[in-house]
Amino acid sequence: MRVLSLISGRCRAPALALAGTLACSMAVADQRDPRLPELFEQMRNTAEPHVAREAESRIWRIWLDSGRDDVDAIMREGIDAMSSGRFVDAIEHFDRIVTIAPDFAEGWNKRATAYYLNEDLGESVRDIQRTLELEPQHFGAISGMGLIFLKRGDPLGALDAFEAVLEIHPHSRGTRLRVEMLKEMLMGRGT
């Protein structure tokens, strides 16, 4: 998958180089829900943006459902904490999730988001790496990597990450706008 090579091939900052090991580990996703392949196919191949948005929404619902009431309750608490700006509390909730359900990709992804919001980019990268090991098509995690590239001043790395998102989710309007903006910026630099 392209995102695996872009993370290793475009890394200029040492912390991001850790994510390069993804290229060597195509673990089977823990998100084995039999509905996912069809939803990804729909999202990738539909000509109708509303169909893609519905498929995306269903994918997120599946990703958020660990199948365990205790983990799902902690997830809700962590999301509430993150939404309230209590990023350290959110990280603690997501720590519990990745400890008791280490193969639940969304626990890692949510902790990556909380780390990012708490300005701990190195930890965020490590959790994105684990998320993608478990769910290589996690367009949210790949987009998060793009945001980290941007924050670290690497627009070319960000462009590659956001283009990888579009390979999975071509109708992602926000991502498409980021790609257009980055291309314009890079052309202005002569890159």
Residues of the chain with pLDDT under 50: 1-6, 8-30
The answer to whether position 29 is within a domain reads no
pLDDT at 147: 97
Element holding 30 (H helix, E strand): none
Length reported for the chain: 191
Per the structure, the complete domain to which residue 104 belongs is given by 2-24+34-189
Q: What is the pTM of this model?
A: 0.84
Instruction: Report the alpha-carbon distance of residue 124 to residue 112 in Å, rounded.
Output: 4
Report the C-alpha gap between 23 and 158 in whole angstroms.
18
Structure confidence at residue 25 (pLDDT): 31
Cα 84 from Cα 69, distance rounded (Å): 23
Is residue 57 domain-resident? yes
Number of domains in the chain: 1
Residue 16: the pLDDT is 38
Is residue 131 within 8 A of residue 138, CB to CB? The reply is yes
Task: Give the model's pLDDT for residue 2.
Answer: 43
Q: Which amino acid is at 124?
A: S
Rounded Cα distance, 15 and 57, in Å = 31
The CATH number assigned to the domain holding 106 equals: 1.25.40.10
